[in-house]
């Protein structure tokens, strides 16, 4: 970490980014001390402001969201304290919150689940678009039980107002275009909102096109130690036979893609609320890095193609052989229908009633280089949610409600390793607040019943789980708050954890060609239990703020996907197993307004995080983010904004059993934005320089850290017109 102190002292450029994401209704270029407004947490049905809860949260909105909004939700959030990204090439970036991802992180679209296949495998993208969001709220710790006790890591809610919650007085919207040189990515985003009488409408569209990702040097991590000396001779033969492939430098092959989306929503407003409907269509086609799948490099760096000697082996038949040759592309489609009702004073004692109903038809095909479809995944689901906020009773405020969903998840094809499974989920929750002059107490309870009925299993399985949380927020001085939260959360095993390769003998295991790995579930897995402690200290004054949070999670029967060290045809065998585990971490963030100069104001911030996880066996939990420290500096005036940021990540030398360590890195970014008022409209021009030093960045959270580094030096520039 010797690089970091020099990096912090060198932060001397000025900044504010603009990305092509959510559109502001107006430009607010006043100092933070004059223009700062508390964000109301939509994800919490009590509509609390951020200063009114002890529960840990992160909010991206306005300029900050536009600076960060990217092609994936993981990349959008990945530089925030306590949050990282598990990339699988530039087309996939799943959020990692406090070391947890997959089924322990629930991604929502306006309060209901995204209903995609991202939990089933690390190569499946989330079906949400941060580029279209008005705000992104991240809740972690005990607050997540509002959306399921299983969301132990956190809840990410992407809010885009597709069902308008208010009647705009005048039409608003914008159009944005940007180009990023690191992947030759072109992005076009448009949004319009307006009203006619009591009806409001929302219309948005997005198009994104990108090529192979440019990187510094070779895609494969150098200096990898093989697990077996017998690989050496094979490596030499492989290099001679495929030398041309190994000479490819400066790009990650097969990482281009194309995506488009369209959303229309409308709402009818009356004296006591509104009702609304929306329909959205998302199409997303992206390539998986060549080293990810069969005939490439697996996660543990066995980078050989299958030799002819394996073609006749029992476990190296056609399912593991020639039909997997070539690059793999995922072709995703999702159609989503949402209905929402928001009603004040619906019944005696009920202040607000909110009802959500969502139907989602999701499908993606994994297409091999030959053009054949290896596996088709689908998830057809319906979800309903009811929230009832009762009127204040003494010093108590609260919400109770229910949540139910059902659907069918299927994976069909020669490479399908998860059986078609019907599922039903039902939950009841209650959250209450008690307020005094200096204290806010919160108590939450949740019960969940879940059923899984796989086609290859005799009978269905059911799981009952109970979760509870309590917290206290102490305003011990005018600008200071101390918070403490305790929770006990239970999570039922997911479909992929239970049934991957269910019933297959070792010699008959089905390879997931997209990830070049054999994944084995266990139908005997028990409910996972986590007991959590979260402590926080916050200060805010005059537009400046600082916060620090520490947490401890004690897991019983932690479900972990481990690399067994066994290989079939040079592809690793990974298995879901249960073992107790402990996680501990710290995250901090700050922003200080330090003065004004030349008609603008300066601000500086320091941030960072650390997560450690250890299994009961003494082994480290795999794929955790490293220690990270960062700093940012910005200067902003009415017309011009400048910024710079540095993030220093330590090496991850606690990689876990049979996993590869990753080197540290220091990443510099900078940008400039110019605002040109045009009457009631604004034209904004922006330019960002990313990874200025062309640093080689490999994320320890990624299964592809050895074969697919992050983007190298790149310039992003664009225009945005707002009315």
Q: Return the CATH number at 321.
A: 2.40.170.20
The runs of H, that is alpha helices, within 223-310 are: 231-241, 243-246
Task: Determine the 3-state secondary structure of 680 from DSSP.
Answer: coil
Pairing of strands 518-520, 571-597: parallel
Spatial CB neighbours of 211, under 8 Å, sequence gap ≥ 6: 183, 184, 185, 256
- Residues 662-684 have a mean pLDDT of 93
Element (H or E) spanning 548, and its range? Answer: strand 544-568
Q: Does pLDDT of 325 surpass 90?
A: no
In this predicted structure, what is the pLDDT of residue 55? 67
CB count within 10 Å of CB 164 equals 23
C-alpha distances in Å from residue 97, one per residue of 79, 142, 611, 701: 11, 13, 10, 11
- Residues 415-428 have a mean pLDDT of 92
**CA-CA distance, 693 to 645, in Å (whole number)?**
13
pTM recorded for the entire structure: 0.86
Task: Determine the 3-state secondary structure of 231 from DSSP.
Answer: helix
Spatial CB neighbours of 247, under 8 Å, sequence gap ≥ 6: none
Q: Which two tokens stand for residue 519?
A: 């994944």
Compute the half-sphere exposure of residue 431: CA atoms within 13 Å on the CB side of its CA: 25
Q: How confident is the model at residue 520 (pLDDT cuts 50, 70, 90)?
A: very high
Please list, residue by residue across 684-697, b when 16 or more beta carbons sit within 10 angstroms of its beta carbon and e when fewer do.
bebbbbbbbeebbb
* Residue 259 exposed, middle or buried by CB count within 10 Å (0-12, 13-18, 19+): buried
Tell me: the pLDDT tens digits for 468-480? 999 999 999 999 9
In this predicted structure, what is the pLDDT of residue 27? 39
Beta-bridge partners for 40: 49
In this predicted structure, what is the pLDDT of residue 53? 65
Indicate the number of domains in the chain.
1
What is the span of the domain harbouring residue 613?
Answer: 3-722
Spatial CB neighbours of 2, under 8 Å, sequence gap ≥ 6: none
In this predicted structure, what is the pLDDT of residue 141? 61
In this predicted structure, what is the pLDDT of residue 311? 42
Backbone φ and ψ for 418, nearest 5 degrees, come out as -120, 125
Written as one string, the DSSP assignment of 463-516 is EEEEEEEEEEEEEEETTEEEEEEEEEEEEPPPHHHHHTTTT--GGGPPPBTTTT
**CA-CA distance, 1 to 653, in Å (whole number)?**
13
Question: In which region does residue 240 sit, left (phi positive, over 0), alpha (psi from -120 to 50) or beta (all else)?
Answer: alpha
| Sheet bearing 112-113, strands edge to edge | 57-61, 135-139, 154-159, 105-109, 112-113
- Residues 208-212 have a mean pLDDT of 96
In this predicted structure, what is the pLDDT of residue 11? 34
* Residue 39 exposed, middle or buried by CB count within 10 Å (0-12, 13-18, 19+): middle
Evaluate whether 417 touches 519 at the Cβ level (below 8 Å).
Answer: yes
In 3D space, the residue among 190, 249, 177, 259 whose CA is nearest the CA of residue 220 turns out to be 249
* DSSP single-letter state for residue 144: G
Q: Which two tokens stand for residue 259?
A: 């995506």
**CA-CA distance, 291 to 327, in Å (whole number)?**
9
- Residues 252-275 have a mean pLDDT of 96
Residues in the chain: 723
* Residue 674 exposed, middle or buried by CB count within 10 Å (0-12, 13-18, 19+): middle
In this predicted structure, what is the pLDDT of residue 291? 67
Average pLDDT over the chain, rounded to an integer: 85
- Residues 484-493 have a mean pLDDT of 93
In 3D space, the residue among 143, 284, 321, 109 whose CA is nearest the CA of residue 209 turns out to be 284
- The beta-strand segments (E) located in 15-134 are 57-61, 83-87, 93-97, 105-109, 112-113
Written as one string, the DSSP assignment of 395-425 is TEEEEEEEEEEEEEEEEESTT--S--EEEEE
Q: How confident is the model at residue 303 (pLDDT cuts 50, 70, 90)?
A: very low
* Residue 229 exposed, middle or buried by CB count within 10 Å (0-12, 13-18, 19+): exposed
**CA-CA distance, 552 to 536, in Å (whole number)?**
12
Q: Which two tokens stand for residue 689?
A: 């320089």
- The beta-strand segments (E) located in 110-212 are 112-113, 135-139, 154-159, 172-180, 185-196, 199-210
* DSSP single-letter state for residue 121: -
**CA-CA distance, 520 to 496, in Å (whole number)?**
9
Tell me: the pLDDT tens digits for 586-618? 999 999 999 988 889 999 999 999 999 999 999
**Residue given tokens 């220690």 in the structure block:** 627
Find the range with the poorest average confidence among 224-233, 286-295, 380-389: 224-233
Find the range with the poorest average confidence among 298-307, 438-447, 497-506, 508-517: 298-307
- Residues 230-256 have a mean pLDDT of 59
Tell me: the pLDDT tens digits for 135-180? 999 987 656 778 887 888 889 999 999 999 999 999 999 999 999 9
């Amino acid at each position: 970490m010797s690089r970091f102190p020099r990096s912090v002292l060198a932060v001397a450029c000025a900044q504010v980014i603009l990305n092509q994401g959510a559109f502001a209704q107006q430009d607010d270029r006043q100092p933070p001390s004059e223009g700062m407004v508390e964000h109301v947490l939509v994800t919490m049905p009590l509509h609390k402001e951020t200063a009114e809860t002890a529960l840990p949260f992160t909010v991206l909105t306005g300029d900050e969201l536009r600076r960060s909004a990217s092609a994936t939700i993981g990349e959008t959030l990945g530089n925030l304290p306590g949050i990282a990204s598990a990339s699988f090439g530039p087309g996939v970036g799943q959020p990692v919150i406090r070391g947890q991802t997959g089924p322990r992180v629930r991604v929502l679209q306006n309060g209901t689940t995204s209903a995609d296949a991202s939990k089933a495998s690390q190569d499946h993208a989330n079906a949400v678009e941060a580029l279209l969001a008005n705000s992104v709220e991240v809740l972690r710790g005990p607050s997540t039980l509002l959306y399921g006790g299983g969301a132990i890591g956190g809840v990410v809610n992407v809010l885009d107002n597709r069902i308008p919650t208010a009647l705009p007085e005048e039409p608003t919207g914008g159009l944005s275009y940007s180009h990023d040189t690191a992947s030759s990515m072109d992005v076009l985003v448009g949004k319009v909102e307006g009203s006619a009488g009591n009806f409001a409408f929302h219309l948005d569209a997005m198009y994104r096109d990108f090529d192979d990702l440019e990187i510094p040097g070779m895609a494969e991590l150098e200096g990898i130690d093989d697990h077996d000396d017998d690989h050496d001779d094979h490596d030499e033969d492989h290099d001679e036979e495929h030398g041309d492939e190994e000479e490819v430098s400066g790009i990650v092959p097969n990482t281009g893609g194309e995506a488009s989306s369209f959303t229309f929503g409308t709402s009818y407003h009356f004296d006591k609320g509104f009702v609304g409907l929306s329909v959205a269509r998302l199409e997303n086609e992206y390539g998986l890095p060549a080293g990810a799948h069969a005939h490439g490099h697996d996660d543990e760096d066995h980078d050989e193609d299958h030799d002819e000697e394996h073609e006749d082996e029992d476990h190296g038949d056609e399912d593991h052989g020639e039909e997997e040759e070539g690059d793999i592309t995922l072709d995703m489609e999702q159609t989503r229908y949402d209905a929402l009702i928001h009603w004040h004073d619906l019944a005696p004692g009920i202040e607000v009633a909110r009802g959500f109903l969502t139907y989602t038809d999701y499908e993606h095909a994994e297409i091999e280089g030959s053009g054949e479809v290896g596996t088709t995944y689908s998830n057809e689901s319906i979800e309903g949610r009811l929230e009832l906020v009762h009127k204040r009773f003494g010093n108590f405020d609260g919400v109770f409600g229910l949540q139910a969903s059902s659907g069918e998840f299927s994976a069909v094809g020669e490479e399908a390793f998860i059986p078609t499974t019907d599922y039903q989920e039902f939950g009841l929750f209650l959250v209450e607040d008690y307020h005094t002059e200096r204290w806010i107490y919160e108590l939450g309870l949740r019960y969940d019943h879940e059923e899984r009925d796989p086609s290859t299993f005799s009978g269905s399985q059911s799981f009952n789980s109970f979760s509870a949380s309590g917290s206290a927020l102490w305003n011990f001085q005018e600008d200071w708050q101390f918070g403490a939260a305790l929770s006990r959360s239970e999570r039922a095993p997911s479909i992929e954890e239970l049934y991957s390769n269910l019933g297959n003998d070792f010699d008959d295991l089905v390879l997931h060609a997209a990830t070049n790995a054999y994944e084995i579930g266990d139908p005997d897995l028990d409910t996972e239990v986590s007991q959590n402690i979260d402590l926080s200290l916050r200060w805010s004054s005059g537009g400046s703020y600082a916060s620090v949070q520490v947490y401890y999670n004690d897991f019983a029967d932690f479900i972990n996907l481990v690399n067994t060290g066994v290989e079939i045809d040079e592809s690793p065998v990974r298995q879901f197993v249960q073992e107790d585990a402990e996680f501990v971490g710290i995250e901090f963030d700050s922003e200080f307004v330090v003065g004004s100069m030349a008609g603008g104001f300066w601000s500086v911030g320091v941030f960072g995080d650390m997560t450690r996880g250890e299994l009961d066996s003494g082994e480290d939990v795999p794929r955790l983010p490293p220690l990270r420290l960062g700093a940012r500096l910005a200067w902003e005036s009415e017309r011009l904004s400048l910024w710079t940021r540095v993030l220093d990540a330590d090496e991850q030398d606690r990689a876990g059993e049979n996993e590869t360590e990753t080197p540290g890195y220091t990443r510099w970014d900078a940008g400039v934005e110019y605002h040109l008022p045009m009457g009631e409209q604004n034209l904004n021009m922006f330019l960002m320089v990313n990874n200025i030093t062309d640093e080689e960045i490999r994320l320890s959270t990624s299964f592809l850290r050895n074969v697919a580094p992050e983007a190298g030096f790149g310039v992003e520039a664009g225009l945005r017109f707002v009315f």
